[in-house]
Amino acid sequence: MFSLKNVLGLQTRGFSTGLSVNEKMWRLPFFPPAAVWPNYKDNYTHRRHRTNIFYNTYGVQKQSTMKCVDNSALSRQSQAMGRPAMIIQVYSEKHKHRPHEAQGKLGDRVLCAVMGQKKKGIIVGLKAKQLHGIPRFDSNNVVLIEENGNPSGTRITAPLPNVIRPILKRDSNPKKADYTKLLAIASNWI
């Protein structure tokens, strides 16, 4: 009986038994006897599992508490009374149609409840793990803004990450809301 292995002169090899002198190491069957390393098969991840791997964690969502880091009267009053701002709505496309609604990342607009008032703000710092080169903060920070995009305060007390510069420039529209004025009043950048 002829087999393809005999015709082509291929030798088959099973798992190492360790009984002969030539078999000093355990190897998988598809590696030749002379191969020393690697003696394992690479892990295979299905493509459907790879699509949902995000290299940074999720951001803030509804009911998350935020620290106001500008010097507006509302921010100072909330800090003095120990009542941080709470997110009511996140204006972001990330995870917009998921059960817990959208996730807010750096530079996203949010609607906050501060001292019984509704104010819009921009996220400028997150506690969650970030991508390499993006700083993490001790608290979730927000800067309160008006409807036209102007900041409510005249100074920002916390340092801002440099990565939000292009995000705010991209989202700015001179006829609707100009977020670049927030960049002008920031003194510390990381």
Closest CA to 154 of 93, 33, 81, 69: 69
| Token digits of residue 101 | 């609604």
CB atoms within 10 A of CB 187: 9
C-alpha 129/C-alpha 137 separation (Å) is 9
pLDDT digits (tens, 9 = 90+) for 152-184: 999 999 999 999 999 888 888 877 888 888 888
Closest CA to 153 of 111, 184, 174: 184
8 pLDDT above the threshold of 80: no
For the chain, where do the domains classified as CATH 2.40.150.20 start and end? 65-185
CATH class of the domain whose range is 65-185? mainly beta
Strand 117-125 relative to strand 85-91, pairing: unpaired
Q: Are 150 and 173 in contact (CB under 8 A)?
A: no
Instruction: Give pTM, 2 decimals.
Output: 0.69
pLDDT digits (tens, 9 = 90+) for 70-95: 999 999 999 999 999 999 999 988 77
